[in-house]
Amino acid sequence: MNIIIIGSGIGGMACAATLANSGVKVKVLEQNNDVGGKAGNIQQNGYEFDTGPSLLTYPNWFDDLFISCGKNPRDYFDYIKLDNVTRYFFEKGKHVDVLGDLESTAENFEKELGVEKTMFLKYFKKWENIYEISEKVFLEGDLKIDFNFIKNAVKWVSVSGLSNIFKSMASYNKRLQNPELEKIMNRFATYTGSSPYETPAFMNQLAVVEMVLGGFYPKGGVFNLPKALESLCLDLGVEFEFNCKIEKINMLKNSIEIFSSQKKFSPQKLISNVDYYTTQHLLGKKSRKSRTVLSTSAIVFYWGVKSEFNQLKLHNILFSEDYKKEFSEIFNDENIPKDPTIYINISSKIDSNHAPKGSENWFVMINVPAQKNLISDNQIKLIKDLIIKNVYNKFDVNIENLIEFEEILTPNKLFKKTGSYLGSLYGNHQNSIYSIMKRKKNQDQKFKDLYYVGGTVHPGGGMPLALRSGVNTANKIINEIR
């Protein structure tokens, strides 16, 4: 069996390793000169940045993949559990930390936000119970409508409550009666590139992943994860071909043709680790999808900052004043928000070699709509000035003259580098139960030898779910071969 995988993201390499371990011949075609996809790396002027994902969750899923391939994961990568997961900043410099376990976080919320600890823990227990069922229903294997699925789905609805399928996350969280805590809980909608004012209330369960199961950091940075997967693949005999951009795919009756600018490939099965809609374009299909169904994109500034900020942690959120207006501007107006929430990741807080001594590497991100139009230099300048002003208001420091290195990621640049359709981070948004259930499957409905893995298909976006998509799809193919 000869299989080709297009794209060397987390999902593609997880799929390649699982297939190769079963004895299948696998080749990975990558348009860039290194692995990782969105989880890439920049090294410049003494600074090092992870270009995309910055928080590791479900590290045991990564471990399980290596173990299933007969390898010790600690020979490839390691990680630490974070005692301080995220620091949230509100108006007038007020901040609160989400810590490494739920009890400590609840105590912190009581101390800093005035939220009664027992009330919050009771509120959170509901989402823990829902999450436990959801993992079995939605994350394990294909979404197959069979007896087991229906049985678990009925149980899931009984625990979640029918109203929470149609009520929004934000409207449910009003019962917390604390504007700061509402913002923290609503923020988890962004983990799927969605709006908390539209995505169903049961998506509050996303908070369980970070607040209960914990946040982790791969030693050396997130880029060490795709590099570890690459090493695993090579050890299992997977072949990589870099700087190989695919321009066309023909799915014929009894064969598959893949064309780059220089070569033609003819595998027996094809797995795309490229964005689902971009793959459709390669197949010659015109996408009728407008950007209104897509998840958020992002503008990211990679800044080398000649100073150190004790007020900031590894992960930091600077909330906008009007959170609802921000999401309305993104999804309803399809505009860059005028007062965006700002995410700042500083990996040099843990890996000091990611920045020169006395400096920090700032990954600064805001959410914007997916779009094919180029963002103008003037728009970039306005956003940059807004971020600098916001940082000044929070910390009374003007960082403009402290920035000695800068690189910028826009939706258009993200599309060109990774194939993310219109720069969308997670494929379709999940702003309704319909969009959640209609997430693209891992096997093409028409071409049975064509499969999809990665964050734009089932079971969802983010590194662990991308990995799970690769493993699930590989196991499906192995069972079909057998």
Confidence of residue 126 (pLDDT cuts 50, 70, 90): confident
Confidence of residue 142 (pLDDT cuts 50, 70, 90): low
Report d(CA 14, CA 16) in Å as an integer: 6
Q: What is the mean pLDDT of the chain?
A: 92
CB 454 within 8 A of CB 463: no
Same domain, 207 and 254: no
In a domain, 49, yes or no: no
Report d(CA 126, CA 119) in Å as an integer: 12
Structural domain containing residue 339: 297-368+376-409
What residues form DSSP beta bridges with 200?
168
CB 381 within 8 A of CB 390: no
In this structure, what token pair is assigned to residue 239?
């072949």
Report d(CA 188, CA 206) in Å as an integer: 6
Q: Is cis: bond before 459, omega within 30 of 0?
A: yes
Q: What is the pLDDT of residue 151?
A: 61
The CB-side HSE value for 289 (13 A sphere, CA atoms) comes to 21
Confidence of residue 131 (pLDDT cuts 50, 70, 90): confident
Same domain, 395 and 322: yes
pLDDT at 460 over 90: no
Confidence of residue 153 (pLDDT cuts 50, 70, 90): low
Same domain, 390 and 438: no
Same domain, 266 and 307: no
Q: What is the pLDDT of residue 482?
A: 84
Q: What is the pLDDT of residue 155?
A: 63
Confidence of residue 373 (pLDDT cuts 50, 70, 90): confident
In a domain, 269, yes or no: yes
Report d(CA 98, CA 103) in Å as an integer: 10
Report d(CA 426, CA 436) in Å as an integer: 12
What mean pLDDT is predicted for residues 364-382?
93
Between residues 201 and 154, the one the model is more confident about: 201
Same domain, 224 and 202: no
Same domain, 153 and 230: no
Q: What is the pLDDT of residue 439?
A: 85
Q: What is the pLDDT of residue 132?
A: 79
Same domain, 359 and 380: yes
Q: Could you give the percent of the chain with pLDDT greater than 90?
A: 82
Same domain, 162 and 242: no
Report d(CA 222, CA 231) in Å as an integer: 15
**Pairing between β-strand 79-81 and β-strand 216-218 as defined by DSSP bridges:** antiparallel
Same domain, 191 and 251: no
Confidence of residue 130 (pLDDT cuts 50, 70, 90): confident
Give the Cβ contact number of residue 125 at 10 Å. 11
Q: Enumerate residues 6+ apart whose C-beta is below 8 A from 130.
A: 156, 159, 160, 202, 205
CB 152 within 8 A of CB 136: yes
Residue 48 vs residues 34, 53, 307, 402: alpha-carbon distances, Å? 16, 14, 16, 17
Domain end position, chosen among 178, 193, 211: 211
pLDDT at 141 over 60: no
Q: What is the pLDDT of residue 136?
A: 62
Looking at residue 444, the DSSP 8-state letter turns out to be -
Confidence of residue 288 (pLDDT cuts 50, 70, 90): low
Q: What is the pLDDT of residue 147?
A: 55
Q: What is the pLDDT of residue 3?
A: 98
pLDDT at 287 over 90: no
In a domain, 423, yes or no: no
Same domain, 401 and 301: yes
Which helix (H) or strand (E) segment holds residue 34: the answer is none
Domain end position, chosen among 156, 179, 211: 211
Q: What is the pLDDT of residue 133?
A: 76
Residue length of the chain: 482
Report d(CA 179, CA 468) in Å as an integer: 35
pLDDT at 154 over 80: no
In a domain, 316, yes or no: yes
pLDDT at 95 over 80: yes
Give per-residue pLDDT as tens, 216-234. Answer: 999 999 999 999 999 999 9
Confidence of residue 160 (pLDDT cuts 50, 70, 90): low
Give per-residue pLDDT as tens, 237-283. Answer: 999 999 999 999 999 999 999 999 899 999 999 999 999 999 999 99
In a domain, 93, yes or no: no
What mean pLDDT is predicted for residues 461-465?
94
In a domain, 456, yes or no: yes
Between residues 137 and 3, the one the model is more confident about: 3
Same domain, 342 and 398: yes
CATH, residue 451:
3.50.50.60
Domain end position, chosen among 189, 211, 233: 211
Confidence of residue 138 (pLDDT cuts 50, 70, 90): low
**pTM greater than 0.85 (yes/no):** yes
Considering its fold, how many domains does the chain have in total? 3
Confidence of residue 161 (pLDDT cuts 50, 70, 90): low
In a domain, 394, yes or no: yes
User: To the nearest 10°, the Cα dihedral for 435, 194, 87, 363?
Assistant: 110
pLDDT at 436 over 90: no
In a domain, 112, yes or no: no
Same domain, 474 and 403: no
